[in-house]
């Protein structure tokens, strides 16, 4: 369970970063601050619930892992390596092509979403497909918006909403794990 929770912590942290970094103009400043505060409070709550779930019990049922299982090696390392190459290479290509600066967050959302879809197959966890598909779609939408007069809204669509999707996916995973530990 600890390895799975590590992935959830990472997802929740990046979800929080997505919101905090991208909640800005053209949003109303009060709305931007509220979104940032909510993201940080959500992360803190998820962290507390995950720690409590980990303290209250070990892995159960579908969440049980073989002791020798290592989710963060082998195919995982390949997926993350490909993600890094695509993130850097894609952003360099977008910059070289003269794409607006806002496309960077859309590209990041797209690649991070695809990385979750790939990890669904590696980890055999269908639940991570939901935030993966959501981020992929928000990235594609943001890239499309970048070619329109709505380019200023790309950080909100591809950044803030992607952060919300990540936090929501992590909340689901932590709540599911917590309920399983409470029942056992």
Measured in whole angstroms, the distance separating CA 113 from the mean position of its chain's CA atoms is 7
The 10 Å Cβ neighbour count of residue 160 is 26
Report pLDDT for 68: 39
For 39, the token pair is 């993201």
Q: pLDDT tens across 96-124, in order?
A: 999 999 999 999 999 999 999 998 888 88
Count of structural domains, the chain = 1
The 10 Å Cβ neighbour count of residue 133 is 16
Task: Single out the residue of 18, 14, 12, 10 nearest to residue 160, CA to CA.
Answer: 18
**29 — pLDDT class (breaks 50, 70, 90):** very high
Q: pLDDT tens across 47-97, in order?
A: 888 777 666 655 544 444 443 355 566 788 899 999 999 999 999 999 999
pTM here is: 0.86
**26 — pLDDT class (breaks 50, 70, 90):** very high
Report pLDDT for 81: 93
Report pLDDT for 72: 61
For 31, the token pair is 């709305």
**CA-derived radius of gyration, the chain:** 17
d(CA 95, CA 84) in angstroms, rounded, equals: 17
In the predicted model, is pLDDT for residue 125 greater than 90? no
On average, the pLDDT of the chain sits at 87
In the predicted model, is pLDDT for residue 182 greater than 50? yes
Instruction: Give 48: exposed, middle or buried? Use CB within 10 Å, 0-12, 13-18, 19+.
Output: exposed
Please give the average per-residue pLDDT across 9-31, as a whole number.
96
Whole domain around residue 43: which residue ranges?
2-183
* Contact of 75 with 122, CB cutoff 8 Å: yes
Q: When comparing pLDDT for 46 and 36, which is higher?
A: 36
């Amino acid at each position: 369970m600890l390895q799975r929770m590590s992935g959830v912590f990472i997802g929740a942290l990046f979800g929080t970063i997505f919101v905090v970094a991208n909640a800005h103009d053209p949003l109303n400043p009060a709305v931007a601050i509220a979104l940032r505060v909510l993201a940080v409070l959500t992360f803190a709550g998820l962290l507390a619930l995950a720690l409590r779930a980990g303290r209250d019990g070990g892995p159960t049922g579908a969440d049980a892992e073989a002791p020798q299982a290592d989710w963060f090696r082998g195919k995982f390392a390949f997926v993350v390596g490909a993600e890094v190459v695509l993130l850097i290479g894609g952003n360099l290509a977008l910059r070289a092509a003269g794409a607006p600066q806002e496309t960077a967050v859309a590209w990041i959302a797209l690649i991070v979403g695809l990385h979750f879809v790939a990890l669904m197959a590696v980890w055999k966890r269908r639940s991570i497909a939901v935030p993966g598909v959501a981020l992929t779609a928000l990235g594609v939408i943001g890239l499309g918006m970048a070619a329109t007069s709505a380019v200023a809204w790309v950080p909100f669509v591809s950044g803030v909403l992607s952060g919300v999707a990540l936090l929501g996916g992590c909340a689901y995973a932590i709540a599911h794990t917590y309920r399983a530990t409470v029942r056992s």
